[in-house]
Structure 1
Amino acid sequence: MARHQYGIFAEGTRSHHHLELSVRPDASDDALRTALIGVRSANADHRTNGGTNLVIGFGSALAERLGLAAVEPFPGYASADGRLQAPATQRDLWVWVHGPTPDVVVDVVRAVHEALAPVASLELDLPGFVYHDSRDLTGFIDGSANPFLDDAPVVAVVGAGEPGEGGCLAMTMRFEHHLDRFDALEVADQEAVFGRTKPESVELDAKPADAHISRVEVDDEDGEELKVYRRSVPWATASQQGLHFVAFGADTARFDLQLRHQYGLVDGITDRLLEFTTPHTGSFWRCPSVEDLERVAPLPDDDD
């Protein structure tokens, strides 16, 4: 079976950087191919380059142009009253670099940007980090329901015989938190927002219907939970803070169903967490297998 990009499941890194780019209309196929080879080459020596990891995702238009399996564009979502919005800002290319420390990560990020600058415009340039013991800036542990690493590929990797086999589908959204409002809540009310206890992240026995985990834990038609594998990280400046949400799955249907539940499009109940955070971006991505990447952007042989 085709191999997934190793960086998707490389856990334990504390420094992250996300780039999203739009390919320029005049970029030729040859120039684009050269740029993508440059991106892959920027981290080709990852085992000796400080333990950095690089993941590449393609939006719908670029995936089609490169002959990769299709991926739907992010459609955008809104509550019935229009008060809660998840805008569609689908870009062409996503590059995620992560590693143990900011210095080695930024070295790779700079090389990636240099390779892509001739063919693409930078739309998102966002450093992120692991906060304490993998907590969101709200103080709650992020990704408590993540599958264990042994099980994560079952959730996130496209199966054999399916279009794009060995690769993954991904969703990214940049959220800006309204921490002043959230921090003003009593801890018990904060826990009701999430549906988990704050210190230990234990699921509440009686969680509200509008609690975050009540909204995002969704089942398929057979009653089986549709899990995702999350790799989200906080981002922050002195005046603004938030979460860069990153989720992987074997299809985009599970992302769509989660968001439909969050925005009340299934039963009219919206996710209360959305009262305290606002998404500013939203994209779906095809993260192809190593073999498909090698086909569209082959790394040079060591002897070349």
Structure 2
Amino acid sequence: MAREQLGICAEANLHGSYLLCNALDGQEAALRQKLSRLPQLLNRLSEHFSEAMLTAVVAISSHYWDTLYPWQRPADLQAFPEFASDHFAVSHSTADLLIQVRSDRADVNHIALQQVYQLIVSHVEIVDHLFGFRYLDGRQLTGFVDAPLNPRGQLRRKVALVDAAISPVFAGGSYLHFYRILLDQQHWLMLSAEQQAEIMGYQKVDGKVVPNSDYYENSHLACCQVAQEQGALLLQQNMPFATLQLQGALQLSFSADSQAFSRHWGQRLGLNTPGIYDRLLDFCRIDLAAAFFVPSLSYMEAAARGDFSNTASNLFE
């Protein structure tokens, strides 16, 4: 049975660190070995700092997958969708690898990433190193509760992890879309609480749905609900980030379905229903976005050993 990376379905933490890397040419064999060792390294740290609830995710980008694991590709693994929209523009990243570390202690995250870096530094170049944090009781910097439609309990695994019955080779893996969304906080804060609630579709304090709003169908909540009803099921792991000049969120959307995020994103952009789009995007822009696949621990270890005896054919032939 495939063993998934524990960071996919882990509950929320207080601190997050995100390492975006590009692989150096000709380092594929070494990286397969090193990446397969990362979960063991992080598990040892997790046991040592058990109160920190340390977890991690190692993800391979859509454009680098065929270089690192050329024998087989997850079904319909594609780049971050480049939809043309009148409401929004996205700047894409070319990072080959994403390594996410989360815990309840910032110092443990630092220790973990230092050890990760020492393990892979001779094979990669660092593109970016990002930090996120838990804001109040799990809120966005808008002041509203984040991802109110997120699946809970055992449903998280069903939504996020590829089923063995669908794909035995990639069972326990997950399609991941990562993006950094910037909030125009100056203009957002000029709105009244009622105007903000109409845009979000739910109240800031108690999270209740806004009643009888003429604008509800264009709200953030309504667009996400429609996408979910159409089968765009996502497990989101979002964390705010902030500097004195920039504020926003680092957003990770996991799914067992390769097309779920595209359907979700298309609905928010207003591509599915003319005139209906997520009005929250009027106050946001994305300056960093990429699509990845998170392989199971079993797959990473088999790739490092060159052992594919459990697949339908010998993929190295």
Q: Tell me, yes or no, whether TM beats 0.5.
A: yes
Q: How does 1:140-155 map to 2 (within 5 A)?
A: 140-155=144-159
Q: Corresponding residue for 2:161?
A: 157
In structure 2, the CA distance between the partners of 1:68 and 1:235, relative to structure 1 (3 Å rule), is: farther
Structure 1 residues without counterparts, runs of 5 or longer:
299-304
Q: Corresponding residue for 1:215?
A: 223
Identity of aligned residues (%): 25
Amino acid at match of 1:22: N
Q: Distance in 1 between matches of 2:110 and 2:43?
A: 15
Within the candidate set 264, 275, 283, 2:270 is matched to 264
Q: Is the 8 A contact 1:77 1:87 kept in 2?
A: no
Q: Corresponding residue for 2:15?
A: 15
- SS of the aligned residue for 1:7 comes to coil
Q: How does 1:1-304 map to 2 (within 5 A)?
A: 1-24=1-24, 26-45=25-44, 46-49=46-49, 50-65=52-67, 66=69, 67=71, 69-70=73-74, 71-79=77-85, 81=86, 83-163=87-167, 164-207=170-213, 208-219=216-227, 225-268=231-274, 269-297=276-304
RMSD: 2.0
Q: Corresponding residue for 2:309?
A: none
Structure 2 residues without counterparts, runs of 5 or longer:
306-317
Q: Is the 8 A contact 2:39 2:297 kept in 1?
A: no
In structure 2, the CA distance between the partners of 1:128 and 1:213, relative to structure 1 (3 Å rule), is: same
- SS of the aligned residue for 2:7 comes to helix
In structure 2, the CA distance between the partners of 1:201 and 1:225, relative to structure 1 (3 Å rule), is: farther
TM norm structure 2: 0.86
Question: Aligned-pair distance for 1:29?
Answer: 2.5
Q: Distance in 1 between matches of 2:98 and 2:120?
A: 11
Runs of 4 or more consecutive aligned structure 1 residues displaced over 3 Å after TM superposition: 37-42
- SS of the aligned residue for 1:279 comes to strand
In structure 2, the CA distance between the partners of 1:150 and 1:274, relative to structure 1 (3 Å rule), is: same
Question: Aligned-pair distance for 1:42?
Answer: 3.4
Q: Is the 8 A contact 1:21 1:92 kept in 2?
A: yes
In structure 2, the CA distance between the partners of 1:128 and 1:159, relative to structure 1 (3 Å rule), is: same
Question: Aligned-pair distance for 1:38?
Answer: 5.0
In structure 2, the CA distance between the partners of 1:13 and 1:297, relative to structure 1 (3 Å rule), is: farther
Q: Is the 8 A contact 2:179 2:252 kept in 1?
A: yes
In structure 2, the CA distance between the partners of 1:226 and 1:247, relative to structure 1 (3 Å rule), is: same
